[in-house]
Amino acid sequence: MTRICKVEIQNFRTIRLLNWQPSPGLNCLIGPGDSGKTTILDAIDLCLGARRNISFTDTDFYGLDVTQPISITLTLGSLPDALMRLDSYGNYLQAFNRANGLVTEEPEQGLETVLCLRLMVDSELEPVWSLVSQRAQAQGQERSIAWKDRLLLAPARLGTYASSNLSWTRGSVLNRLTEERPNLGAELANAARQARTSFGGQAGAQLAATLQIVTQKANELGVSVGGRTQALLDAHAVSIGDGAIVLHDATGVPLRSLGTGSSRLLVAGMQRAAAQQASVALVDEVEYGLEPHRLTRLLNSLGAKESPPPLQVFLTTHSPVAVRELNGNQLFVVRKSPDGAHQVLQVGVADDIQSTVRADPEAFLARSIIVCEGASEVGLIRGLDHFWTNANGASMLAAGTAYVNVGGGEPDRCFVRGLALRQLGYRVLVMVDADKPPTAATVQAYVDAGGEYIIWREGRALEDELFLSLPDAGVDALLQRAIDLVEEDLVAAHIQTQSNGRLTLAQIRQQRQQLGVPYPLATRQILGLAARNRRNGWFKSVTKFEDVARDILGPYSQISEPEFVTLINRLYWWPHAD
């Protein structure tokens, strides 16, 4: 089963330069829009596909610069016997070292024997396929892979029109399942003739007046029509070719009338069955037309859970369902640098990455990621985003921002997670409490990698910052929200416990209602500690903190303590930075 060992692209569409060693199994390309994911699939399809004619235009050249030719090179390994024949391809067989990605001119013991197929397009827009070999070039030889072998290597593409594989057309997956072929001989030719004759008898009666006029004019003008004209089916119109034999269900309905998702699912299963002959599949936007449970079934059909993999699959997705169903070794982030060079980075299966794949797969589809210490920070961000969007339309989500919930624990975990994501090319902001200070070396390693962070002021958790920073009216609203959420008796008990009996909820109310006394610093500190009670925190859930942030923090965020306002404003501007 042939595998693509290496992909090299130059000056093709949005890609100036790309060198990538894909996995021999499933390769799911993820990344922001316009990062080049589909371009990679198209490049593989154009280079390896069995097409005699392909139209290129100036827009296929990077930066519209036709003076720099398009070059797409695929290094092909796990070659079938037909491509290992010395009399046909001997001068083109080379060795591939998977450890360093290098191709050497002569096959070597212990290295994989490969062929390098290249597609070149210059300013004349004529594609040229050729095998790459310095030995052959030195001997003045030049050739490509034979057409019959190209037909075997051609990848199956499960696109919007997957139903084209549900008939016995040339290149269809159906033709790769077995050696069987439909008989398109004398029987079908006779059927076509009978159809023409039968139609002619009916049409003669229905179109008699028209035929009479045509015959009369032909005779008048000396045009020989053999005495009369007839209305018969065009022989070419009723000719029956490969595509005339199509799959139908038990009631006679063509399977090409299936929905897009069902067609893709069926064709994926057929491709799996045909893997011995066509072992490379391309799927753009794998989730298209499929519900989550059927998307999972499609991925499994393509070998997502199998080892060794039955197929080499290249797919793209914008679905968190697809990301969650795969492991980190099957996920590849496509990154574009300002100079047009591209990288394809394997996500990997380190604990801090794989746990994010499972818990927050949406993050891998975003441009920027905020790593949150726990549910409180996630709710804070969601609530503020609601408030800011309603206030001025500046949405974090619209700016391509997602969040990751580390799930509490030591703050170092947030910086370790942030570093792992930063190394994959994401913009990352870590948001943590300061009641447990992180390790300086861990923070520095993250910062050195280009990460940013917001940490509350020394010794403070998020609840402390709210009760210490918001104006008195904001603290009133927080206290009332806590009573609404966890009941008055529990709030009172928490206050009494944290103050060692020196302060009660009733005393706080009396001071505020009767005397209008501002909240003393000591009272604010006690309320902050009481709010983050370990077992019954007043706001400790995504939903509760989301409502608090939207309804209370948002409206009071610009009239709070100045240093706190600075931190909140930094959170506001970060997602929208270039």
3-state secondary structure of 112: strand
Mean pLDDT of 90-115: 89
pLDDT confidence tier of residue 134, bands split at 50, 70 and 90: confident
Pair (143, 191) in one structural domain: no
Pair (91, 216) in one structural domain: no
Structure tokens at 10: 């130059």
At 436, the amino acid letter reads K
- Residue 57 lies inside a defined structural domain of this protein: yes
pLDDT greater than 70 at residue 170: no
- Residue 469 lies inside a defined structural domain of this protein: yes
Mode of pairing for the β-strands spanning 156-158 and 401-405: unpaired
As a whole number of angstroms, the distance between CA 416 and CA 404 comes to 12
Pair (122, 190) in one structural domain: no
Closest CA to 263 of 293, 299, 297, 290: 290
Q: How many other CB atoms are found less than 10 A from the CB of residue 99?
A: 7
pLDDT in the model for residue 259: 74
243's CB contacts (< 8 A; 6+ apart) are 167, 168, 169
Q: What is the pLDDT of residues 544-556, one digit of tens each?
A: 999 999 999 999 9
Pair (16, 143) in one structural domain: yes
Burial (CB count within 10 angstroms: exposed 0-12, middle 13-18, buried 19+), residue 496: middle
- Residue 337 lies inside a defined structural domain of this protein: no
Q: What is the pLDDT of residues 337-356, one digit of tens each?
A: 877 799 999 999 988 888 89
Q: What is the pLDDT of residues 473-516, one digit of tens each?
A: 999 999 999 999 999 999 999 999 999 999 999 999 888 887 67
- Residue 376 lies inside a defined structural domain of this protein: yes
- Residue 521 lies inside a defined structural domain of this protein: yes
pLDDT confidence tier of residue 252, bands split at 50, 70 and 90: low
Pair (551, 438) in one structural domain: yes
Q: What CA–CA distances, in Å, run from 363 to 160, 376, 397, 514?
A: 27, 18, 11, 50
- Residue 374 lies inside a defined structural domain of this protein: yes
Strand partners, 371: 404, 430
Contact between 115 and 76 (Cβ < 8 Å): yes
3-state secondary structure of 65: coil
Last residue of a domain, one of 240, 275, 303: 240
What global pTM score does this model have?
0.83
Pair (120, 233) in one structural domain: no
As a whole number of angstroms, the distance between CA 268 and CA 297 comes to 10
Closest CA to 320 of 354, 355, 347, 359: 359
- 338 compared with 170, residue with greater pLDDT: 338
pLDDT greater than 90 at residue 6: yes
Structure tokens at 35: 């990062």
Pair (460, 574) in one structural domain: yes
Helix (H) / strand (E) element for 71: namely strand 70-77
Pair (14, 99) in one structural domain: yes
- 163 compared with 425, residue with greater pLDDT: 425
Mean pLDDT of 16-42: 93
- Residue 546 lies inside a defined structural domain of this protein: yes
CATH number for the domain that contains residue 116: 3.40.50
Contact between 115 and 79 (Cβ < 8 Å): yes
Q: What is the pLDDT of residues 386-413, one digit of tens each?
A: 999 999 888 988 889 999 999 888 899 9
Q: How many separate domains does the chain show?
A: 3
Pair (535, 401) in one structural domain: yes
Convert 138-160 into a string of H (helix), E (strand) and C (coil). Answer: HCCCCCCCCHHHHHHHCCEEECC
Mean pLDDT of 78-91: 86
3-state secondary structure of 280: strand
Closest CA to 346 of 327, 362, 333: 333
Pair (103, 212) in one structural domain: no
Pair (15, 99) in one structural domain: yes
As a whole number of angstroms, the distance between CA 202 and CA 181 comes to 35
As a whole number of angstroms, the distance between CA 214 and CA 465 comes to 94
- 201 compared with 111, residue with greater pLDDT: 111
Closest CA to 286 of 268, 270, 271, 308: 268
**Out of 118-122, 168-172, 273-277, least confident range:** 273-277
Contact between 38 and 72 (Cβ < 8 Å): no
- Residue 303 lies inside a defined structural domain of this protein: no
Pair (202, 149) in one structural domain: no
DSSP line for 507-563: HHHHIIIII-PPPPHHHHHHHHHHHT-SSS-SS-SHHHHHHHIIIIIHHHTTSS-HH
pLDDT greater than 80 at residue 66: yes
Mean pLDDT of 531-535: 88
Closest CA to 271 of 159, 149, 155: 155
pLDDT in the model for residue 521: 94
Full residue range of the structural domain in which residue 122 is found: 3-22+38-153
pLDDT greater than 90 at residue 16: yes
